[in-house]
Structure 1
Amino acid sequence: MESRNYTQFSDFLLLGFAEGEEWQPLIFGLFFFMYLITVLGNLLIILVTILDSHLHTPMYFFLSNLSFVDICFTSTTIPKMLVNIQTHSKVITYIDCITQIYFVILFACLDNFLLAVMAYDRFVAICYPLHYKVIMKPQLCGFLLLVCWVISALNSLLHSLMVLRLSFCRNTEVPHFFCELDQLVHLACSDTFLNNIVMNFVAGLLGGGPLIGILCSYAKIVSSIHKISSAQRKCKVFSTCASHISVVFLFYCTVLGVYLSSAMTQNLQSTSTVSVMYTVVAPMLNPFIYSLRNKDIKRALKTFFEKETRKDPIFLRLKSCCRLKDSNPQRKKL
């Protein structure tokens, strides 16, 4: 009972990546740069999908929400790590750690569900193109998004409450750059059997369920594409879901890589390094994947930057100066 009371006032130490002080400025600069790229890239996707009326479709509605979730996901972990490096402190309070666990699980789960919903959207668009607008109505899109948020919030609340029942020993060191659920459960002094049962069951249900839905959707999509006789039309249809396939592959491969490596190795420090792939690298690369492989996004970005360039007073001043120089008669004589 004494150890349980102590958890109300205990602090955790986030060990991060490197023990040596000489590595800290490099780590700070690298993660600050990746965080900046992630936020700016995803904000640009959100802004373009809002401003361009051609992108007011279910596919880009879910894409803008995925970008928002990716910003929130990285913002849950990276700023705290950067502050700790800057202040030369590794401490995170018990309450902050539980809060971080809640939001990490929330946004990771949302990522998972949104990718499944986007796969369903592509399935309807390719397999039932004539009924697409009837099926994917704004009401259905809003309902699917609400379901994703509700299930994710309840799931993260469940895991947070399960952690609250645990008691921890003194000087608890987390070999990670954020409070990760599995590692925190392993550090508990009390019985964690129920926590492990709940974690494995929920991971199989909420992790495997959307993945099976994605695989089934693309199995139907591939079957529909094979029925198309024209090779050019096949490529055109497949290109509409190429970006989504790339993001799904990146997300699930990095997540599976982290948990397979944690199961196969006892080095928790190396597991934290691998987890950077799905917590930082994947959200950072998503905007690039969609902007580089998607013609609609590229066109919208080009239109957006052209409009901003016309509005720029510096650009207008330079343009007017060039016109004055060209109209100068003395210059023409020379």
Structure 2
Amino acid sequence: MRHGVVILPEHRWRDARRRWTRAEEIGFDHAWTYDQLMWRWLRDEPWFGTVPTLTAAATATSRIELGTMVATPTYRHPVPFAKEVMALDDISDGRFVCGLGAGAGAVDDLVVDPVERTPRQRADRFAEFVEVTDLLLRQRKTSYSGEHYRLDEVSMNPGCVRRPRTPFAIAATGPRGMRLAARHADTWITAGAPGTFDARPYEQALPDIARQVRAVDDACAAEGRDPASLRRLLLAGAAVGGVLDSVESWRDTAGRCAEIGVTDLVVHWPRPGFPYAGDERVLDDIADDLAPVAAGGRR
């Protein structure tokens, strides 16, 4: 089991830096931040840009993987985004993970893209977005003609540090998205039941996760891929609650997740209030479990 943490981009860097470096010291395998312009419950609160935040985190750390949770075509075009991914991959010396998702069609989405799309339309655009981004990061020159994107000899030089490209982590809960993850991703992401922001106790939520894991296994089989080659990441906190209530609940969740085939468990850095309210001291207890791994390098 690998462990990660989401750090919201809500603090000025002089304060945020401590959280990113502490995440590495604790022994987390990966740390993420949300790729949003504004965000759900914190629309009127401080909120900083994703790529500058991850760039700063890359220069402040040396071991931990860093990623977007998750980038969507709502805010991103494949060409400038691929350039930023290539730069983050270089600055982090190959520690960047490109987290991708279709977007939920929420109010924040309409700030940049005023066209309201159906779930099918968002899925169509996302499939093309993933395909184009994949090609850009694998190739020195890319041309492409699709419904949503058209490229003519776009150059990507020098390419990614990690070959054949920066790894993808794709968020998906439906059959089509899972097939896309099976085709392109190194890691599949779920946050639990789709569209749910009322966290159930993890004991109640995990049976749904187990069903999703079986579905992504089927998606891999349909794509001719060994299911064991795809990592499965559970993002706790929105639909799956109680994980960071104590170090015991964290250990219990990790054990139960491993039993159902989850390979990566990600929590949110505890905040003083809603959302993700919690006590940072629990992270110190987690550090006692993860410290040997942190000292020895990546899992």
Give the structure with the larger strand fraction: 2
| Fold shared, TM-score > 0.5 on shorter chain | no
Higher RCO, 1 or 2 (CA under 8 Å, sep at least 6)? 1
Alignment TM-score, normalising by the size of structure 2: 0.26
Judging by fraction of residues, say which structure has more helix: 1
TM-score (norm. length: structure 1)? 0.24
Whichever of the two has the greater Rg, that structure is 1
